[in-house]
Structure 1
């Protein structure tokens, strides 16, 4: 782990990487392993209407004109407690021009025999009601074969179509008969994905398998009814398809504008979600 972004920097099983790592003390590439809060994914133009007030967030995705992955991915979290197999960190989101109240965020990582367990808890410490969402951002690695050869399965029944230029949401479509239907495990191949999925059912789980017999998986609680999948395609070839970004989300892209599944945090209210990464 690293205090920068409360990011999962490295995770191994039997000496094999389960997530795409990055060097200690180096800048975090491609948001690897960060906690995205108080919203996941992107907000169009960094603007949204909350309780009749137009909020304006900093635009950190300049080419698409969006506010991406929240306010805490590039801050130092404070280590609250640590042990051999557990770590707790916290940070504060201050009320600002773009966000209406202050939050306290606490992330807990715990290593067990069945994988790495993580939880994120947000508490509204301010005086105003706040919109909220969260997701992790690991890039999973199934094994030594290229991503095109990995087998992928997850139970989504629908995917969210997006605009080709800014990746902003359009409408939901059934995965039935589409290249994005991974309800039954099959090879990823050359398919490029950077979309949100829903209709995940109860006790959702994603499994990614390598032809050599190794695998990595992720499960999460029902507080995350959305799942962003990104095959990490890079036009310049750098870090091209090194790992599959798997992001269980409490709400879809641009949720502060659509209102879809936004968590409304009243002053003093608390919200928690959990997920797990496992390998074999």
Structure 2
């Protein structure tokens, strides 16, 4: 047991949560709503890094939990007509985005997860969660494979660490398609405004999207602002963004870096280099939050006629494990 940290079960508004505390930091995860890491805060400085639902908005959050906290998407983003064929098998998902006729965001951000363990050590407070899919789980209808996704969050003096793994427990290969729809507050400091905020993102090329928000397989020329997004930075609401980019790590790191010039503090979201794509969305340039979304794969990847190395579509062999770590911390 650590004197610096705690891990305990307690409500987040009216939803059961596992809370982590370490020094000035605290975080909360909601097992019953997609294992969503719904809060990450610095209590000492009153920083709230993630967009959280209010007590009055919990019902609407549960109905559509994609734009608060850190939702896990599997498969992420849009799939044309809710279907794709991969490795000789056709997968059919419900069309849940009427405007585009696509399936959007998968099933895991709304599903109930199991808490494996939580506690503290000499170096961290932590919680481990998992969801296992087999013939008895309703998600198996859409993803007919036996597999387990695990999420582990740990909190210590350096900030928040996320570890995610996908374990194929079946006898045939499965498509591994995953992302996080992370909703970052901008500003996250109480006395700042969005005008005090600028960010950089390790993007490479911009994917061209058609009228259904699906990649054409071609790239678009970057604007001067998009070039600045990679280097000197720009406002999270510089323009309405629902944009898709390749990831291009810089100095060995794949990250979104948000700087608050008024508070003179920087938030780093270092997502690991296994994520080959970025989606970025800012609610039509509305101040308050934006979503830099690390994606393993290209949107609609199985339906795009490009090599798997380019689309990031991972074939996870029987018994195989895919994993990656990400960090949120300040400097």
| Structure-1-length-normalised TM-score | 0.88
Alignment match, 1:190: 238
TM-aligned CA deviation for residue 71 of structure 1 = 2.0
Matches within 5 A, 1:162-241: 162-163=209-210, 165-170=211-216, 171-175=218-222, 177-181=223-227, 182-188=229-235, 189-201=237-249, 202-212=252-262, 213-233=264-284, 240-241=286-287
Q: Alpha carbons of 1:138 and 1:122: their partners in 2 closer, same or farther (altered >3 Å)? A: same
Match of residue 40 from structure 2: 11
- State the Cα distance separating 1:218 from its structure 2 match: 0.3
In structure 2, distance between residues paired with 1:214 and 1:142: 12
Are 1:147 and 2:194 counterparts?
yes
Structure 2: unaligned runs, 5 residues or longer: 1-28
Which protein has the bigger strand share?
2
Partner of residue 48 from structure 1, selected from 70, 76, 84: 84
More helix by share: 2
Give the distance between the partners of 1:158 and 1:149, measured in 2 at CA: 27
Q: Do residues 276 (structure 1) and 318 (structure 2) align?
A: no
Shift in alpha-carbon separation, 1:115–1:142, aligned structure 2, 3 A: farther
Q: Report the count of equivalent residues.
A: 272
The runs of 5 or more residues in structure 1 that have no matched partner are 235-239
Matched, 1:249 2:295: yes
* Larger gyration radius, structure 1 or structure 2: 2
Distance 1:49 1:7 in 2: 29
Whether the 8 Å contact between 1:44 and 1:66 is mirrored in structure 2 is yes
CA RMSD of aligned residues (A): 2.1
Contact 2:147 2:167 in 1 (8 A): yes
Query: Distance in 2 between the 1:161 and 1:241 partners?
Result: 25
Asked if the contact 1:11–1:21 (Cα under 8 Å) also holds between the matched residues in 2, the reply is: no
CA contact (8 A) 2:200 2:234 kept: no
The structure with higher relative contact order (CA 8 Å, sep 6+) is: 1
Give TM-score scaled by structure 2 length.
Answer: 0.76
Matches within 5 A, 1:77-116: 77-84=113-120, 85-94=125-134, 96-116=140-160
* Residues 1:76 and 2:116 aligned together: no
